[in-house]
Amino acid sequence: MALVQYILILCFTGVLCNTANTSAPSADCSTDPHPFMPIGSKYYLINAAVKMNWFEADLFCRTFDSDLAVIESEAEMDALSFHVTTNGNLGKFFWLGATDLAVEGKFMSHYNGRAIPYAKWARGQPDDSQKREDCVHLWPVNNIYFMNDYPCYSEGYALCEMRQRPKCCGESALSKNGLKKLVDEYVRSAYPILNCRD
């Protein structure tokens, strides 16, 4: 598909343009977190019922407009570990939104493409065992959760993190950065008639 066609599709479907944000009913800005639950300072959706590989888990989260969780601090790690171990899920492992699929040994957030801000690796990890471990999961060792790199096609459970919404009616913080901005500017300059934000 030509780039222009792709961009136009994104525009019409609202991926690039903020029409939905600027004129959306309040439901779009709803603070109702269901089915996410507050754990520590964030909202999470834990699917401890259906095992899936990392890619499936990523898509599962996206169906809820969320992403596989990226743990950003020791406090978040502790809160999640406590929740999982005290809600009958101890022993299960949960996929996180971190991977070194792009560059071996450099674990990046699948959400924003940046280096993960925090890690609590289990001893000896990450080890890229058999050179096939590129996805990160929460892994219990002696009933304490750590992080481990693991084969992406292994099956675990999805740990989704609710996106931190930008201000409802303001410009998305994400739109100020990166590829989205570049493509958005391209659309605006090349197809002013399709400027669906203003």
Sites of contact with Ca ion (CB under 5 A) = 100, 125, 127-129, 133-134, 148-149
User: How far apart are CB 175 and Ca ion at their closest, in Å?
Assistant: 32
- In the bound complex, what is the minimum distance in angstroms from residue 138's beta carbon to Ca ion? 13
Closer to Ca ion by CB, 44 or 94: give it. 94
Give the amino acid at 23.
Answer: S
With H, G, I as helix, E, B as strand and everything else as coil, classify residue 145: strand
Q: Confirm if 84 and 145 have CB atoms less than 8 A apart.
A: yes
Q: Residue 36, SS3?
A: coil
* Residue 133 or 184 with smaller CB distance to Ca ion: 133
Instruction: Return the number of the residue (34 or 131) whose C-beta is nearest Ca ion.
Output: 131
Which CB sits closer to Ca ion, 146 or 157?
A: 146
- Among 169, 180, 185, which residue's Cα sits nearest to residue 19? 169
Residue nearer to Ca ion on the CB measure, 132 or 176: 132
Nearest of 109, 92, 89, 93 to residue 101 by alpha carbon: 109
Are residues 51 and 90 in contact, defined by beta-carbon separation less than 8 angstroms?
no
Instruction: Output the smallest distance, CB 65 to Ca ion, in A.
Output: 28
Residue whose CB is nearest to Ca ion in the complex, by number: 128
Give me the least distance between CB of 121 and Ca ion, in Å please. 9
Q: How many residues does the chain have?
A: 198
Min. distance of Cβ 125 from Ca ion in angstroms? 5
Q: How far, in Å, CA of 185 to CA of 178, rounded?
A: 11
